[in-house]
Amino acid sequence: MRPFIIAGNWKMNTTLSDAVVLARAIRGGLDDMPTDRVRVIVCPPFVSLSSVHEIIRDSGIALGAQNVHERDRGAYTGEISAAMLGSVGCEYVIIGHSERRKYFGETDVQVNAKVKKALENELRPIVCVGESLDERERGITVDVVSRQVRGAFDGVEAHNFQKCIIAYEPVWAIGTGKTATPQQAQEVHKVIRGLVRDAAGNEIAERFVIQYGGSMKPENAGDLLGQPDVDGGLIGGASLNADSFLAIVQAAESTGRNG
Ligand code: PEP
């Protein structure tokens, strides 16, 4: 069945030395914790990718970036290409995080172009989708998430879905301390799996990993990860502390779900 995948999104936190300390602590903790069912990804800021890669080498922890540009190269000052990310050891890249959509105006069209560019460069996209509080209150959560998923994967070939992850991150739950209830998360995750099924077929949909993100912490991780369609977490705040991040990994490892 599906593995759990727990990813830490460090956002614009950690200097190089902070990142090194955090990566060492996570690696040390995981070396002491057998994790048969859980895969772990860390997504530090760009400037720390290379150093963190050295620390996690051969540990089973994968490296991810927090963004990528949709073009191959050129006069795009300040941007980072998919090939550059691959060259420093990235296997994954977060695409379309709600903070990128909100503060940097990223559209579904751009998200789609980034997903395709990542795949072309052998990077695995972690595509973020989720509704705002206003959209949830207006009862259009499923419409919004469906539009975002269809937009992100428009033209992506079925076999390429296997390389992707979707993170359902209700915007109202990110960094706010408010978490979706396990039932609210399950409801949307099930819809997302249905969309993957429509696009890529049942076999791929059953193996497809859908993470939950939005104030996941050790105290609520077990209940969220116990839902049949919740296959891991994209963790912001709680990933900046090795103990709480490792406790979430432990919660995934010991959840009763048969996944
Ligand atoms: C995120 O930004 O992806 C996230 C889920 O953040 P937090 O865990 O802090 O809500």
CATH of the domain at 224: 3.20.20.70
Write down the pLDDT at residue 214.
Answer: 96
48 lies in a domain? Answer: yes
Question: With the CA atoms of 25, 42, 167 and 225 taken in that order, what torsion angle do they form, in degrees rounded to the nearest 10?
Answer: -30
> How would residue 74 be classed by pLDDT, with cut points 50, 70 and 90?
very high
190-212 pLDDT, tens per residue? 999 999 999 999 999 999 999 99
Instruction: State the average pLDDT over residues 117-132.
Output: 98
Distance of CA 41 to the CA centre of its chain: 9
CA 121 to ligand 1 center in whole angstroms: 26
Write down the pLDDT at residue 110.
Answer: 98
Q: Is 169 a catalytic residue?
A: yes
The domain of 166 spans 4-128+140-254
Tell me which of 11, 97, 211 to substitute to probe ligand 1's pocket, judged by most ligand atoms within 8 Å of the beta carbon.
Answer: 11
Instruction: State the average pLDDT over residues 131-159.
Output: 97
Structurally, the chain folds into a number of domains equal to: 1
67 lies in a domain? Answer: yes
Active-site choice (53, 97, 106, 135):
97
Write down the pLDDT at residue 50.
Answer: 98
77-121 pLDDT, tens per residue? 999 999 999 999 999 999 999 999 999 999 999 999 999 999 999
Residue having the nearest C-alpha atom to atom 6 of ligand 1: 236
> How would residue 34 be classed by pLDDT, with cut points 50, 70 and 90?
confident
Flag whether pLDDT at 30 surpasses 60: yes
> How would residue 18 be classed by pLDDT, with cut points 50, 70 and 90?
very high
Instruction: State the average pLDDT over residues 229-251.
Output: 98
133 lies in a domain? Answer: no
Write down the pLDDT at residue 96.
Answer: 98
Residue having the nearest C-alpha atom to atom 3 of ligand 1: 236
Is there a contact between 189 and 168 (Cβ–Cβ < 8 Å)?
A: yes
Flag whether pLDDT at 54 surpasses 70: yes
69 lies in a domain? Answer: yes
Is there a contact between 85 and 65 (Cβ–Cβ < 8 Å)?
A: yes
134 lies in a domain? Answer: no
181 lies in a domain? Answer: yes
- Kindly report the average pLDDT of the chain as a whole number: 96
221 lies in a domain? Answer: yes
Q: Is 106 a catalytic residue?
A: no
> How would residue 177 be classed by pLDDT, with cut points 50, 70 and 90?
confident
Write down the pLDDT at residue 182.
Answer: 97
Flag whether pLDDT at 259 surpasses 60: no
